[in-house]
């Protein structure tokens, strides 16, 4: 359903969007539908996926620096 809607944005997330996402998540928690109101054209599912993707990337980078990866 979310991928078929022609109104959804498919552009890459920029740094400001990612910062805003972490700030909103700190305030609202995992309420992705509420957070989606701040990102017109993006689905709640794509917002959630981007959030967890950023966390995974950060963990991988931290493990590389520490030497456990």
Mean pLDDT, contiguous 10-residue spans, the chain (69 residues): 67 94 97 96 94 93 79
How far is 33 from 6, CA to CA, in rounded Å?
Answer: 19
Domains of the chain: 15-66 (1.10.10)
What single string gives the DSSP state of each residue in the chain?
A: -TTT-TTS--SPPPHHHHHHHHHHHHHH-S-HHHHHTTSTT--HHHHHHHHHHHHHHHHHHHHHHHT--
What pLDDT sits at residue 6? 73
How far is 3 from 8, CA to CA, in rounded Å?
Answer: 8
């Amino acid at each position: 359903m979310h991928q078929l809607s022609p109104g959804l944005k498919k552009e890459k997330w920029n740094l400001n969007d990612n910062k805003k996402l972490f700030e909103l998540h700190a305030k609202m928690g995992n309420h992705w539908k509420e957070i989606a109101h701040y990102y017109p054209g993006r689905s709640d599912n794509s917002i959630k996926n981007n959030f967890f993707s950023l966390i995974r990337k950060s963990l991988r980078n931290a493990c590389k620096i520490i030497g456990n990866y």
